[in-house]
Amino acid sequence: MPPDRLGISRRQLLAAGLATTQCPALALVLPHNGLQFPRDLGSHPDFSIEWWYITGHLLSGSGAKQQEYGFQLTFFRSRVDATQDMVSTFAAKQLIFAHAAVTDVTGKKLWHDQRIARDGFGVAQASNQDTAVILRDWSLQRQARQYKAVAVGEAFHFDLALLETQSLLLQGDQGLSRKGPLEKQTSFYYSLPQLQATGVLTLGGRKMTVRGAAWLDHEWSQALLHPQAVGWDWIGMNLFDGSALTAFRLRDQEGSALWDGGSFHHPSMGASPHVFGRGEVLFRPVRSWTSALTQARYPVEWIVRTPADFYTVKAVLDNQELDSRRSTGAIYWEGLSELYDSNGKLVGRGYLEMTGYASPLRL
């Protein structure tokens, strides 16, 4: 874990459009002299939107009986501005959403589920002090250098321990990540790659001991999407040599990039990743898949150009579309994928996320 205080200055906050009289509560959450850990591992209820995002690659068995899985668990917190001045304890001032999914690579099947509840009443809560998000029987909680992720779906259940093996990475400019052409389109964003995952996965009543590697993102913002943005393409990849690759772009209706960015980190680089500047990341689709459910067409293979290398990203299973209309209202594609370098060598695995293909995304 990095030092308690990291250098995000008042100047940077002003440049991001976040430290203004339009957001007076900011000073209560993020001191002018920097982010604070473990405090900023927790919730930021004065911000409009926030999420904790865990993804990973798991293996069960060994030898010829070895099987491969992907998993994701995401908790969202959304501030309801219209109710903030209400004194009633029944006013829904914060909403907690959650999505979970398991990709059975061998069985070529995606399992997923979702939850939603208002904060409070012992049903849903997100701690302001550290990572501790609970929604009924789903949870993500940190203790020391280990996270515990639990999700119970209709046909799946996982209970995983995720051990830190590297320091967290501050994305963007010391944790301020620009997401659009307007200065206010900035989020606070850090990642924890190369988490060592162990635990139990149950699919269709079959219980398995699993192990693998995982990735955690935590992001919060007041205004994230440009009005012309319909969605984004994003990858978070754990490389076999211990490196971590992030790349993303925000798209408009024509599919052009409104903004792009990301970072590359090798363990030899210390705590600071190499951050990509605008225009340094390019996503080019190679192969697409059309959903029978929504008729949305998703690129499931990409060439992703970054300053680190030209990579090929390939979905391990085409149908990893998630329908979350019963919670966040969005339909999007999010799934386990493989990463190949410019020589065609498999160098890592992680998750590809694509939003705004079924309909424009609204946060």
Alpha-carbon distance of 95 to 75, in angstroms, equals: 10
pLDDT tens track for 116-173: 998 877 899 999 999 999 999 999 999 999 999 999 998 999 999 999 999 999 999 9
Q: Which residues of the chain have pLDDT under 70?
A: 1-34, 81-92, 224, 363
Beta bridge partners of 207: 202
Domain ranges of the chain: 5-354
CA distance 284 to 262: 16
Q: How far apart are CA 183 and CA 259, in angstroms?
A: 12
Q: Which CATH superfamily is domain 5-354 in?
A: AttH-like domain (2.40.370.10)
- Indicate if the alpha-carbon torsion angle 94, 7, 9, 276 is positive or negative: negative
> Which pLDDT tens digit goes with each residue over 206-244?
999 999 999 999 999 987 688 888 999 999 999 999 999
DSSP state at residue 155: S
CA 52 to chain CA mean position, Å: 6
pTM (2 d.p.): 0.88
